[in-house]
Amino acid sequence: MNRLNLIAAASFLACAWSAPALADPCEGALPAKGTTFAGVVRYVGDGDGLCVGPAGRPDRWIEVRLADFYAPELHEAGGREAKRRLERLAMGKPLVCRAGRRSYDRVVAACTLGGRPLGLLLRQAGGIEGGRAWRPRS
């Protein structure tokens, strides 16, 4: 096997064995600023990002970044725990949200769970993780 073929084979194997990228499944149209929308939490991407919508319809799931809560990124200290906390608190439950601005491919929204602000519920459930206080998004 010549050197070029060996490099090509190694590249192919590296790609075949690498972990796939985890993209969120939320593909729904984003609501306009000021719009109220509701749905069941179908996916949690990290400690302050989720998708709401009807079962089995990712094409209608709305991707939300919580307006009133900031969690560490997944790769930061406390990030994985923040995601688990949001999953335990909200997965499969109905939220009512009010759309704010857009941020990339999602809407920044203030959401309530059982009539209570989700950000408040997360702060009450969390406190400090990884030496970093969780705080409202500014």
Q: How many CA atoms lie within 13 A of 60 on its CB side?
A: 9
CB 44 within 8 A of CB 90: yes
Residue 9 has pLDDT above 90, yes or no: no
Contacts from 70-75 at CB under 8 Å and sequence distance 24+? 70/134, 70/135, 70/136, 70/137, 71/46, 71/47, 71/122, 71/134, 72/47, 72/129, 72/130, 72/132, 72/134, 73/46, 74/46, 74/47
- Classify 64 as helix, strand or coil: strand
Task: Produce one character per residue of 26-57: b if its CB has 16 or more CB atoms within 10 Å, e if not.
Answer: bebebbeeeeebebbbbbbbbbbbbbbbeeee
Instruction: Render pLDDT for 85-116 as a digit per residue (tens, 0 to 9).
Output: 999 999 999 999 999 999 989 999 999 999 99
29 found inside a domain: yes
13 found inside a domain: no
Predicted confidence at residue 1, as pLDDT, reads: 53
Which tokens in the block code for residue 131?
């030496």
Domain total for the chain? 1
- Looking at per-residue confidence, does 125 or 22 come out higher? 125
Residue 39: which CATH number? 2.40.50.90
Residue 138 has pLDDT above 70, yes or no: no
Residue 44 has pLDDT above 80, yes or no: yes
Instruction: State phi, psi for 29 to the nearest 5 degrees.
Output: -65, 140
Please give the residue range of the domain that contains residue 83.
21-133
Instruction: Render pLDDT for 11-37 as a digit per residue (tens, 0 to 9).
Output: 443 443 333 345 779 999 999 999 999
12 found inside a domain: no
